[in-house]
A = this chain, B = another copy of it.
Amino acid sequence: MAAAGEQDGRPTTTPSAAPAASANGTTIYSVAELAGVSIATVSRVLQGAGTVSSKTTEKVLAAVDELNYVPLGAARSLAVRQHEAHGLVLPELSGPYYSELLMGFESRAADLGQSVTLMLTDGKADLARAVRQLATRVDGIAVFGSAAMPPPVARALHGQKPVVMITGEPQDGVESVGAENAHSAEELTEHVLAHGRTRLVFVGDPDIAPDIHERHAGFVAAHRARRVQPAEPVRVPFREGEGEAVAERILAGEIEADAVVCANDELALSIMSRLQDAGREVPGDVAVVGWDDVMASRYVRPGMTTVRQPVRELGVLAADRLHHRVQGGEPLAERQVLPTQVIIRGSCGCPSPRSTPPPTERRTR
């Protein structure tokens, strides 16, 4: 009995025939019809909600299988008023930094049952439009601080969707997560200073992003503690080629330094490489240290002394916080800060250890 004798297949008020359906034409109606039940029951089976007899459940599942039914996410989203998706906005993906972040984010988001919609800002002509468009399809957005969130965009989102900034300054209503910078930068700088180096230069632009700013602040603080005057930072953007250029300036004597403290490993690596090619000894003539602990830093000779950030955890944290917000939770006023770790290898002047294990075995979960 039940609704076995359904003569329409679409027992709603709608006068029209069965809906045109998704890609292949199967909708919840087709499934219901085939299983001889109502669409409500199909939905209940699929959502695991409500009570459905095991016999009915079987019938429905069989029908789903036979028709190869894939529900239309948009319809569900509309009905439940949730996208069940988190947005992530990153500048780009070269280098391990953003990838790690993304992996952590995706992993946690998946655990929370959220899909992740990614947007890269580099090369986007109309950023504001892109973010707006993204906002249209997600419940909340995590944004990587530096430059990924121009004011107009921030304004557009204001109060619309939960936003969490990664590595950005916390603002009213948008919370922020990040890694520690100032202390480890100070520690690293002090370490170099302790090697007896006296003319350190900081390479990277402190104004490019708050975290670089903090790194530079640590650099300055270490100098202050020893009552020595820090040199002016060499302001260059994060681009591999820039390292070469800086190295040339050092070789030419234009920049006088016996140690260079770089804002990231890419810069440090390219500087060290160029210096070595030109016959300079590292760390003999000049020490070089970086930031991020990218893979290459373990393989170059001497090993690159650098700072490891818990980038993946940052991604996890961001996903967590975002989800919290999406669930209606209140934003945290203070910034969440994860600890970093100074990794000593040979490029700072220390005797090179044989090798440093990777942070975590690759390809682990």
Residues of B within 8 A of A238 (CB): 362-363
Q: How far is the CB of A313 from chain B (nearest CB, A)?
A: 15
Per-residue 0/1 for A113-150: is the Cβ within 8 Å of any B Cβ (1 yes, 0 no)? 00111111011100000101111110100000000000
Per-residue 0/1 for A319-362: is the Cβ within 8 Å of any B Cβ (1 yes, 0 no)? 00000000000000000000000000000000000110010011
- Provide the bound-state CA to CA distance between A98 and B99, in Å: 9
Q: Contact check: which of B137, B158, B296 meets A296 at CB < 8 Å?
A: B296
Q: Contact check: which of B75, B99, B355 meets A99 at CB < 8 Å?
A: B99
Q: How far is the CB of A162 from chain B (nearest CB, A)?
A: 8
Q: How many interface residues does A have (CB within 8 Å)?
A: 80
Whether the Cβ atoms of B277 and A137 lie closer than 8 Å is no
In the complex, whether A171 has a CB less than 8 A from a CB of chain B is no
Whether the Cβ atoms of A94 and B92 lie closer than 8 Å is no
Minimum CB distance partner of A161 in chain B: B23
In the complex, whether A77 has a CB less than 8 A from a CB of chain B is yes
Per-residue 0/1 for A262-301: is the Cβ within 8 Å of any B Cβ (1 yes, 0 no)? 0000100110111011000000000000000011101111
In the complex, whether A42 has a CB less than 8 A from a CB of chain B is no
In the complex, whether A110 has a CB less than 8 A from a CB of chain B is yes
Minimum CB distance partner of A303 in chain B: B273
- Provide the bound-state CA to CA distance between A93 and B362, in Å: 10
Per-residue 0/1 for A66-87: is the Cβ within 8 Å of any B Cβ (1 yes, 0 no)? 0010111111111001010100
Whether the Cβ atoms of B85 and A107 lie closer than 8 Å is no
- Provide the bound-state CA to CA distance between A323 and B134, in Å: 19
In the complex, whether A102 has a CB less than 8 A from a CB of chain B is yes
Whether the Cβ atoms of B23 and A354 lie closer than 8 Å is no
Q: How far is the CB of A238 from chain B (nearest CB, A)?
A: 7
Q: Contact check: which of B72, B99, B276 meets A78 at CB < 8 Å?
A: B72
- Provide the bound-state CA to CA distance between A354 and B87, in Å: 43
Residues of B within 8 A of A94 (CB): 96, 99-100, 103, 362-363
Residues of B within 8 A of A226 (CB): none
In the complex, whether A106 has a CB less than 8 A from a CB of chain B is yes
Q: How far is the CB of A53 from chain B (nearest CB, A)?
A: 24
In the complex, whether A16 has a CB less than 8 A from a CB of chain B is no
Q: How far is the CB of A20 from chain B (nearest CB, A)?
A: 8
19 A-B contacts, Cβ less than 8 Å apart?
A: A23-B161, A68-B160, A70-B132, A71-B136, A72-B136, A73-B83, A73-B136, A93-B93, A93-B100, A93-B103, A107-B120, A110-B124, A110-B130, A115-B119, A122-B363, A241-B358, A266-B295, A294-B296, A300-B300
> Which residues of A are interface residues toward B (Cβ below 8 A)?
20, 22-24, 68, 70-78, 81, 83, 85, 92-96, 98-100, 102-103, 106-107, 110, 115-120, 122-124, 130, 132-137, 139, 156, 158-161, 237-241, 266, 269-270, 272-274, 276-277, 294-296, 298-301, 354-355, 358, 361-365
Known: A73-B74, A98-B99. 8 other contacts (CB 8 A): A68-B159, A70-B132, A71-B136, A75-B78, A94-B100, A273-B355, A294-B295, A296-B300
